[in-house]
Amino acid sequence: MARTTNDNINVTNKYNTMKTTLTLWERLKPEHKQSIATRFSDYPHSHEAIIELLSESSFFTAIPYGPAFDIMSACNLKFFGDAFNPNTNE
């Protein structure tokens, strides 16, 4: 018995359980978004560049040192990854 296109789609959907990964901007805690907006209120280009960078990335290890340091400074963080971790209170 030959498989139809619908059979192939159903098999693919059955095993394709991977969720889409949120971007760093989507995962960034709201209080950190506010801190970044406040810190860069006089530098709109820098603020937009940070938003764009975080919107294009899913892993904090992919962010270059400069923007990561700027975010850590604005949010008073010791570890960059804490900006995205919902289980930390920093």
Residue 55 has pLDDT above 90, yes or no: yes
Please report, to the nearest 10 degrees, the dihedral formed by the alpha carbons of residues 78, 81, 83, 85 taken in order.
-120
C-alpha closest to that of 70 among 57, 58, 83: 83
Residue 89 lies in a domain: no
Q: Which of 15-19, 48-52, 73-77 has the lowest mean pLDDT?
A: 15-19
Whether 18 is in a domain gets the answer no
Q: Does 43 or 10 have the greater pLDDT score?
A: 43
Inter-axis angle of helices 44-55 and 30-39, to 10 degrees? 150
Number of domain units in the chain? 1
69 located within any domain = yes
Gap between the Cα atoms of 47 and 24, Å rounded: 15
- pTM over cut 0.75: no
Q: Give the range among 2-6, 11-15, 45-49, 78-82 with minimum mean pLDDT.
A: 11-15
Q: Which domain holds residue 40?
A: 28-83
